[in-house]
Structure 1
Amino acid sequence: MLDPSLCHRPISQWLEIKSAIATWLMTPILVVLPLLFLIFLPWIVPRFRWKRLWSGFGTLLLVTYFSAQFPLTTAVANKGLVAFIPPDRGQTADAIVILGRGEAFRNSRVKVAANLWESQRAPLIFASGSGDGTEIVNKLERIGIPSEALNEEHCSQTTKENALFTASVLQPQGINRIILVTDPPHMLRSLLTFRNVGFEVIPHKSPVPHLTQSRKAMMMIYEYMGLVKYGLNGELAPQNMAQQQQPQIVGQRLEVKG
């Protein structure tokens, strides 16, 4: 199993920043009031320099914020994320890997993974994600998937850690070709990240549950931010696993229970 200390780390700074941005952007009054202040303050304060510039900048941000909430904007952003994902042509693999995305996404992913396993696409289902790995495995067991066909890790906090921790457990067992299950917006970054650590990846998209429009918009923002961050860090191009910073492993099988 993975070093247990990996499951008891503080939340990463990147996740804290994303959470703060999400809280701010999904609370309209916290966005609109400061922008209105930015737009009108230069005209209230005497001798304020660059009035038109500041007001114009605030107006642009306000229009951008509301435009991002439109369903058409979200649809176009999603189209850009899925345009380069290759189709699943039905090949068999060594394992099915499910990425956690929170409680709202679990049931659909469990159903998709169970259908893939029952279709004999792969003999093993592996769940990855802090707060999700164990829950997904438990749900799969409850619908009749045998425990010997299930494994998980519940320590990873990011997509990069999903890939690294999954590789650290599965690749020593000779598992290299995987069917990767996640939602369409998350798939491109996940596909490139898992390739980066040496997996041959067959992408298989799971449906997005019903979400508010603001939550959908935040998903798009997250993914584009993630692609830029991972790209700048060189984490999207294929590399040798030996070059990656690998987590410490104890044994080869993770604890599924407890």
Structure 2
Amino acid sequence: MLDPTLCIQKPLTNSWTSLSWQVFNWLTTPALVIPPLVLLTVLPLLFRRLRWRRRISGLGATLLCVYLLTLSPTMVKIGNRVLVTFLPSDVGAPADAIVVLGRGTEMRPERVDVSARLWEAQRAPLIFASGWGDAQQIADMLAQKGIPDTAIDGEPCSRTTEENARFTAAIVQPKNVHRILLVTDPPHMLRSLLTFRSLGFEVIPHTNPLPNHLNVRSKAYLVFREYLGLVGYGLRGRFLPREPSAADISPTAIAPIQEALPLEVPVAPVLSG
């Protein structure tokens, strides 16, 4: 596992990630959004001399209806269904590695369970965890399930999906890891698949289920954040073919992990019990 102290983080990336999460958190908190929209609908009608009062009020009412509809359970289900419709099926082909993306504490158990089952089924000999604040914890949980240390690796530097893909490519592709089983939640999978594919990976998507305790607001947050993420990544060209770069990770940090990875992909043993 890459030493976290060797990670090189860009302040701009960290600030943008933090800001985007704050904005999305505000947008998915009805108590913070509905009152301003109600005021936008009602207040203009109180000023009879305001020339555009009906249009402004109509705009507020429209935005309020769209917002309430967007956060409804039905729309969240439809939005999630659209995101997974275009994913290729996992037909059981072997891969060079299982790449597990961090997504926070709530998502971690399902990811660990899925990746452990894939390894036990001999789908790939290596599980590679990627994500700041997640990679080491995922590795520890996999070890508790009986996965040997030689089959677990990762990097704890990446803070975005873009960095997940770039850092993973920089570390594992020099050791001929090109076909991967990608593990993440259904809303996040499409953007992740396109990003990893742009860096030369052949990606087999394998989603983990969302935690049962997630409420509608949390699911809406995940789903509609991905639509904005797809647009943002697309406009920045992050789905187009390109070469991986390790500019954000120290070369002295990458070398030990690259040396530890197998030169050829062996057959993973099946756990007893």
Do they superpose with TM above 0.5?
yes
1:17 CA drift (Å): 2.6
- Specify the code of the residue in structure 1 equivalent to 2:228: M
1:52 CA drift (Å): 1.4
Q: Is it true that 1:220 corresponds to 2:223 in the alignment?
A: yes
SS at match of 2:223: helix
1:231 aligned residue (231, 234, 251) = 234
Aligned pairs, number: 252
* Percent identity of paired positions between Structure 1 and Structure 2: 47
The corresponding residue for 2:115 is 113
8 Å contact 1:196–1:239 — kept in the other structure?
yes
Which runs of 5 or more structure 2 residues have no equivalent in the other structure?
259-273
- CA distance in structure 2 between the aligned counterparts of 1:47 and 1:39, rounded to whole angstroms: 16
The corresponding residue for 2:257 is 253
- Specify the code of the residue in structure 2 equivalent to 1:253: I
Q: Deviations over 1:80-128 (max 9, x none)?
A: 1011100001111110000011111111111111111111111100000
- CA distance in structure 2 between the aligned counterparts of 1:228 and 1:239, rounded to whole angstroms: 18
Which runs of 5 or more structure 1 residues have no equivalent in the other structure?
none
The corresponding residue for 1:176 is 178
SS at match of 2:257: coil
1:209 CA drift (Å): 0.7
2:38 aligned residue (9, 21, 36) = 36
8 Å contact 2:47–2:53 — kept in the other structure?
no
The corresponding residue for 1:129 is 131
1:4 CA drift (Å): 3.7
8 Å contact 1:172–1:252 — kept in the other structure?
no
The corresponding residue for 1:143 is 145
- CA distance in structure 1 between the aligned counterparts of 2:17 and 2:63, rounded to whole angstroms: 24
8 Å contact 1:129–1:157 — kept in the other structure?
yes
8 Å contact 2:28–2:220 — kept in the other structure?
no
1:53 aligned residue (46, 52, 55) = 55
Would the alpha carbon gap of residues 220 and 156 (structure 1) be closer, same or farther in structure 2, given more than 3 Å must change?
A: same
- CA distance in structure 2 between the aligned counterparts of 1:152 and 1:236, rounded to whole angstroms: 23
Question: 5 Å matches for 1:74-89?
Answer: 74-89=76-91
- CA distance in structure 1 between the aligned counterparts of 2:160 and 2:243, rounded to whole angstroms: 20
